[in-house]
Structure 1
Amino acid sequence: MFSKIKTCTTAKEIWEKLIQICEGNDETKENKLIVAQQRYESIKMKDGETMAQFDERFSAVVIELKSLGKEYSNRELALKVMRALPRELDVKTMAMLGIRIRPPVRQRKNKN
C-alpha cells in the first residue's frame, strides 16, 4: 500500500489515493452495487444451512449494500428473509407474519 501513496505530497492527496484504492472510482462503486443487489435478490437459504449461517450470509450482503448507499426498510428485509426460506418453513413463515392458515370456506347453497 505504501508504494502506491509514497509519491503523494499532501495528506489530502494521500487520503484521496487511499479512497480510490479501497473504494474504487464511481464506475467500480456502481459495479459493486449491482453485484451486491444481484446477490440480495437471489439469496436463498441453502440445504443443510442453519438459520444462524443464513442470517450471517444475509447480513453480510445487507451491510455491503448499506456501505454502497442502498438501504432497505426493516419490513423489506423481513419479507426478503421470509421469501428466502425453504418451502418446509412456509407454515412457520406464515405464523411469523401473523397469517392464519384456514381451510377454504365453502359457500352454502341458498335454501330459498
Structure 2
Amino acid sequence: MWDTLQVTHEGTSDVKRSRKHTLIREYELLRMNYGESIYDFQKWFTHLINHFVDLGRKFEEEELNLKVLQCLDRSWQEKVTAIEESKYLTSLTLATLFGKLREHEKKRHIFEKNE
C-alpha cells in the first residue's frame, strides 16, 4: 500500500527522471525577461530551485548567486559587475542578493520617473 501511495504521489522512476531532465533544461535556459521585475524573477527562480531540492539536489549559496547574476538582462550589467567585484558572493545569502536587487530596481524606477 505504501509503495502505491509513493508512486501515486512522487511518480515512477521514469517520471522522476523525466521531471529532473525538464528541470535541468529549464535551469540551463533560465533568463530574466526584459521588463520582468526582480520580484517575479525571484518567485520563478525560487520555485525552480525548490523543485530541485525536492529531488535531492543541493546547491551552494555562491552557485545560486552566480546563476541569478548570469540570468539578469543587460540593463542590470552595472549592478552585476558591482556585486561580482565586491567579492561577497560566497557569504551573501540568496535572500540578501534578491533584496539588494529589489532595492536597486526601486531606485531605478524612481530615477526614471524623475527624468
Please classify the TM superposition score into its range, dividing by the shorter chain length.
0.7 to 0.9
For 2:61, the equivalent position in structure 1 comes to 74
Provide TM-score, normalisation by structure 2.
Answer: 0.71
For 2:32, the equivalent position in structure 1 comes to 45
Moved more, 15-24 or 31-40: 15-24
Q: 1:98 aligns with which of 56, 63, 85?
A: 85
Pairs within 5 Å for 1:1-112: 13=1, 15-98=2-85
Provide TM-score, normalisation by structure 1.
Answer: 0.72
Deviation of residue 65 (structure 1)? 0.6
- Count of residues paired in the alignment: 86
Q: Which runs of 5+ in 1 are unaligned?
A: 1-12, 100-112
Judging by fraction of residues, say which structure has more helix: 2
For 1:4, the equivalent position in structure 2 comes to none
User: After the TM superposition, which parts of structure 1 deviate over 2 Å for at least 4 consecutive aligned residues?
Assistant: none
Q: Which runs of 5+ in 2 are unaligned?
A: 87-115
Higher relative contact order (CA 8 A, sep 6+): 2
Deviation of residue 69 (structure 1)? 1.4
CA RMSD across the alignment: 1.1
